Structures are given as structure tokens and as C-alpha cells.
Amino acid sequence: MPARPSPSGRARAPRGFCLWLTGLSGAGKSTIAHALIAHLTRRGRVVTLLDGDVVRTHLSKGLGFSRDDRDTNVRRIAFVAGEVVRHQGIAICAVVSPYEATREECRRIVGAERFVLVYVDAPLAICEQRDPKGMYARARRGEIPHFTGIDDPYEPPTAPDLVLTTTGGTPDAHARTTLRHLERRGLLPRVARRSSPVSRTAAERRRRASRATGDR
């Protein structure tokens, strides 16, 4: 992405930041992450996606679902995200990350000003209905011990930067809500939004009516 000129005339480098999507398995974290990547790519940004399940099969291969193993996996993801951010990149982390204290540790690892905690909120019953990877079914059968939401707790964030409730809305709508939040935080430059043909027609009618009234 080309550097944007600042008011002083100097080129302003794009800001790096980390979007940390937390929530139960099946809440919609990865789906929203991919929608965000599509939007950010169109804006010319390069995005690194750190998906908790994918990281487990590579960087954290061999870890289980105990609290210590979960925390180790989450800290590794935060370390990688921090390196991406320090090089002015964008890291999107889609991770269950069930424990409040560990999420706050991740905020410190990345840097609080560049860390955006997004709570992807969906009830456990809905997540179990979705269960795209069959993980809840396996956990219910006792095949996966310490599975979040079944026999291990999920601690909802007490002060998330943004909440996306995925029982309503589309992934694209949630992605757009997140982009607007990033713009308000100053982490993304604002993009001029085109008005729809309907709104342009309505505005033109109002202008004509105003001119007509003024001619009387």
C-alpha cells in the first residue's frame, strides 16, 4: 500500500495493528476474519491470518486442551502477531482464547494501542448446532477433554473493544462494523463511501424542491 501524505507533506506509513477475535468454537471468528481480509486486501493492505486451529497443527503441534497448553498456544500466537504489528502489518487472530487474564497478557505482548479485542458472541447452543468441525460432538462423547464450553469454561471479555453478535447479521456486515471501529480508532484511514442510487435520487429531489420554493 503506498504511503499516504501527512499534513506536513511527509509520507505516512500504514499503521500496524492486531485484531484479536475471541469467542466459542463455531461463533464465527474465522468466517468474519476472511471477510475482513477481503476488505483490507481491496484497500491495499497485506494481512496475516493466525487461526487458532491452524496454528495448533504447525507452531503448536502436540499441545492439548489443558489450561497450560491453551495458554501456551495463545501466547505463541500473540508473539507472532506482535512481530507482524511491529513491522506495520495487520495480524488477524481468530482464537478461542477462553481466559481473560491470558487475553490481557496478549494485549501487553502486542501493545495496547495496536491491539483490538473483538468478542464474537454466540450462545453455546447455536455454536453446537453449527459445529462445522464436529468438535462439540466429539467433546460430548468424551473424546476431547477440557473442551471450551463443555467441560472447560469460557470467560467472556469484561471490556472488549467491540462486540459482534453473530446470531444476526452477515459476516460481511460484521466485517464492515469492525472496519468502521478501526477507522474511529485511527488504525485505518477513512474511506469515502459512495451513496446509493436511491439516496442520490432522494437528495436530488430535495434540492429541486428547495430551489422551487426559493423561486416563489
Tens digits of per-residue pLDDT, 133-158?
899 999 999 998 889 999 999 999 99
Q: What is the overall mean pLDDT for the chain? A: 87
Q: Are 173 and 180 in contact (CB under 8 A)?
A: no
Residue 209 CA to residue 203 CA, distance in Å, equals: 10
> In CATH, which of 1.20.1250.20, 3.40.50.300, 3.40.50.2000, 3.40.50.10380 is domain 13-215?
3.40.50.300
Give domain limits for the chain: 13-215
Q: Summarize the confidence of residues 163-192 as an average pLDDT.
A: 95
- The C-alpha cell that represents 79 in the structure block: 508473539
Single out the residue of 151, 97, 90, 143 nearest to residue 124, CA to CA. Answer: 151
Tens digits of per-residue pLDDT, 60-113?
777 877 889 889 999 999 999 999 999 999 999 999 999 999 999 999 999 999
DSSP conformational letter for 196: P
Task: Return the H-helix or E-strand segment holding 189.
Answer: none
Residue 173 CA to residue 171 CA, distance in Å, equals: 5
**Model pLDDT, residue 8:** 47
Residue 43 CA to residue 101 CA, distance in Å, equals: 34
pTM of the predicted model over 0.85: no
Based on C-alpha coordinates, what's the Rg of the chain?
21
Q: Which residues contact 131 (CB under 8 A, 6 or more apart)?
A: 26, 137
Residue 106 CA to residue 194 CA, distance in Å, equals: 37
Q: What is the DSSP string of 89-111?
A: -EEEEE-----HHHHHHHHHHH-
Q: Which residue has the higher pLDDT, 196 or 184?
A: 184
Which residues carry out catalysis? 97
Q: Are 160 and 118 in contact (CB under 8 A)?
A: yes
- The C-alpha cell that represents 91 in the structure block: 495480524
Q: Are 153 and 101 in contact (CB under 8 A)?
A: no
Residue 106 CA to residue 75 CA, distance in Å, equals: 6
